[in-house]
Amino acid sequence: MSIIDFEAAQKWSKLTKEVQNMFINNVFCFNCGETTIVDYSIINDEMGVVLTGKCKTCGENVTRLVEDI
């Protein structure tokens, strides 16, 4: 994980590790369907935080919005 945004990191850290892992392991990839995000960054968004990274299976770019945390 790389942290690009301090505010996003603060929001993300408020979640338990169990909840963080739930989001990390539940990302949609157009090639693979449900997958795990790897090599991801956390970016602040007006809706919450956005995880951007790669699909663990095929390496394509994937994104996951985690709302209102």
> Higher-confidence residue: 50 or 5?
50
Q: What pLDDT is stored for residue 23 in this prediction?
A: 97
**Domains in the chain, number:** 1
Please tell me the distance from the alpha carbon of residue 14 to that of residue 35, in angstroms, as a whole number.
23
pTM value is 0.88
In this prediction, residue 69 has a pLDDT band, given cuts at 50, 70 and 90, of low
Domain limits for position 42: 2-67
pLDDT band at 33 (very low <50, low <70, confident <90, very high): very high
pLDDT of 8 over the 60 cut? yes
CA distance 33 to 9: 27
Residues 6+ apart with CB under 8 A from 51: 23, 24, 27, 37, 40, 41, 42, 43, 63, 64, 65, 66
Q: How many residues does the chain have?
A: 69
> Looking at this protein, which amino acid is placed at residue 47?
M
